[in-house]
Amino acid sequence: MSSLRQRMIEDLRIRNYSQNTINVYTRCVASYASHFGKSPDLLGPKHIRDYQLFLVKSKRASWALFNQTVCALRFFYQVTLGRRESVEHIAYPRREKRLPVVLSVGELRAFFQAVENLKHRTILMTMYAAGLRVSEATGLCVADIDSESMLVRIRQAKGNRDRYVPLSSAPLTAFREYWSVYKPKSWLFPGRPSHQPLSTRVVQMACSRARRKARLSKPVTTHTMRHCFATHLLEAGTDLPTIQLLLGHRSLSSTATYLHVSTRALQPTQSLLEAVHTPES
């Protein structure tokens, strides 16, 4: 590991960035340096602009990757190198506005039935039942499950914030079946070796296999479980502030996105049309 990379990691840790963010930022800066074949401290504003054009035109990078790269480079130049003048030339992209993909209850049931591995099925069901991100699910410890209070503790989630989510009887039953087979000691979903948590990549691959086996036409990712959780709660009558709290969103506007995909939220429009429509005699 180069001294420059080590210094950036230390700068991120001092500011209490999560390990996932540290990995993403260092990977983005490494890709940037590799593109030019030079150490990143030898590159300047022109290189930054050329690399952004490369991401957009040649690589056709997603908004998420482009934005992660921008954030990583801004941190690297401003904090690690102390070159604030370079940061002024790093433009932020306009955010894409895409509605989340949500599965119906029947599609979700078929999806879970298609997951053959008990551990993979349990973690995906947990993500749906509690509205968890994949990193939050793999980071669960045995001590985070409070079966008496029926709560799951999410430790240091996005934004370094803890939160609690309720645990219904259905996932608790799945936990007990899973527990009788795997008997986890520290991590709720241990990986290989067992003293490490299950890799998020393993869960993502299990999700892809289940989608193909269930023959679902919709694109399904691990984050779809979280989208389904929020949308199904909304359709069951849960108010937006409560869903916001359970998801750990900072802004209610983020949670309000699910109004656009909830069939319950769209029903009033249909009923209004029916009220003014009078069939000809």
The token duo for 213 is 């086996």
Alpha-carbon torsion, ordered 235, 241, 243, 248, to 10 deg: 160
249 noted as active-site residue: yes
186: alpha, beta or left? (left if phi > 0; alpha if psi -120 to 50): alpha
Which of 158, 163, 209, 213 does the annotation list as catalytic? Answer: 158
Q: Which two tokens stand for residue 186?
A: 């520290």
DSSP string, 204-270: HHHHHHHHHHHT-SS---HHHHHHHHHHHHHHTT--HHHHHHHHT-S-HHHHGGGGGT-HHHHHHHH
223 is known as an active-site residue:
yes
Over residues 14-46, the pLDDT tens digits come to: 998 888 889 999 999 999 999 999 999 999 889
84 is annotated as an active-site residue: no
Residue 6 sits at φ, ψ, to 5 deg, of -60, -40
> Token match 């109004």: residue?
259
Q: What pLDDT score was predicted for residue 258?
A: 77
Section 91-107 average pLDDT? 79
Confidence grade of residue 166 (pLDDT, cut at 50, 70, 90): confident
Is 164 an annotated catalytic residue?
no
195 is catalytic: no
pLDDT of amino acid 280: 55
Which one is predicted more confidently, 73 or 169? 73
Nearest CA to 127 out of 234, 222, 209 is that of 222
DSSP string, 119-181: HHHHHHHHHHHHT--HHHHHT-BGGGEETTTTEEEEEEETTTEEEEEE--HHHHHHHHHHHHH
- The rounded mean pLDDT for the chain is 85
How confident is the model at residue 273, as a pLDDT? 47
More confident residue, 54 or 261: 54
pLDDT digits (tens, 9 = 90+) for 117-152: 999 999 999 999 888 999 999 999 998 988 778 888
For residue 1, the SS3 value is coil
Q: Is 212 a catalytic residue?
A: no
Cis peptide before 193 (omega within 30 of 0): yes
Annotated catalytic residue within 5, 7, 59, 223: 223
**Cα separation values, 234 from 109, 256, 260, Å:** 19, 10, 11
Which one of 47, 226, 227, 232 is the catalytic residue? 226
Say if pTM beats, i.e. exceeds, 0.85: no
Residue of 130, 215, 137 lying closest to 167 (CA atoms): 130
Among the options 133, 211, 227, 232, which is catalytic?
133
Which is more confidently placed, 237 or 171? 237
φ, ψ at 201 (rounded to 5°)? -65, -40
End-to-end alpha-carbon separation of the chain, Å?
A: 81
- In angstroms, the CA 36 to CA 232 distance is 47
Q: What is the mean pLDDT of residues 71-85?
A: 91
pLDDT above 50 (res 233)? yes
Which pLDDT band, with edges at 50, 70 and 90, does 267 fall under?
low
What share of the chain has pLDDT > 90, as a percent? 45
Cβ contacts of residue 116 below 8 Å, gap of 6+? Answer: none
